[in-house]
Amino acid sequence: MAYAVVSMADSVLRQHHPATFSAICRDAMPDCPWNAAPRCTFHVRVAITEDPPTYRYDTVRIAGDPFASGVLRLVDPPLVGDLYWICDEADPDEEERPSHTGMHRVVERAWTHPMRGSADWPWEKPHPRNGPLLDLIVVKDEGPFRNEA
């Protein structure tokens, strides 16, 4: 299983050390430009009722994201079943939506790829300007050390 920390460090590195960030991306994907990496958004599944099961999906706010978009470019996005430690930047004025910081398990993924002729992939360009969107549905999890005595 893959483990990662989604936190302000990624945003800080991207904003303040673009050369370092670009070098890391080039090493991870040497044949692919960084903007082709998937743009991931994490959504936490919160149970509302048990019978019948209904859910609310809270979009995780990435700490340090100046646009509060919740989008994080990941060269190697998580697979279903992977555990992720997510740092959610909660808004103290929102009482209905608590912070979802903690360990989460990916339960579903949904990809949306750019269409040729769209704003993300103009006809005259050989490749899209941006990578695909990836919506990741996650649920709270205890992590790899369950039921430890």
Q: Is 17 helix (H, G, I), strand (E, B) or coil?
A: coil
CA-CA distance, 117 to 121, in Å (whole number)?
6
Q: What is the pLDDT of residues 1-57, one digit of tens each?
A: 333 444 334 443 344 444 444 444 445 545 556 577 888 899 999 999 988 899 999
Rounded to the nearest integer, the mean pLDDT of the chain is 74
Percent of the chain scoring above 90 in pLDDT:
21
How far apart (Å, rounded) are the C-alpha atoms in residues 46 and 58? 7
- Amino acid symbol at 40: C
End-to-end CA distance of the chain: 23
Report the alpha-carbon distance of residue 94 to residue 38 in Å, rounded. Answer: 29
Cα distances (angstroms) measured from residue 21 to each of 28, 54, 112: 11, 40, 25
pLDDT of residue 131 exceeding 90, the answer is no
* 16 phi and psi angles, rounded to 5 deg: -100, -15
DSSP state of 85: E
Q: Would you kindly state where each structural domain of the chain is located, as residue ranges?
A: 5-36+55-140
CB–CB of 106/78 below 8 Å? yes
The CA distance from 53 to 50, in Å, is 4
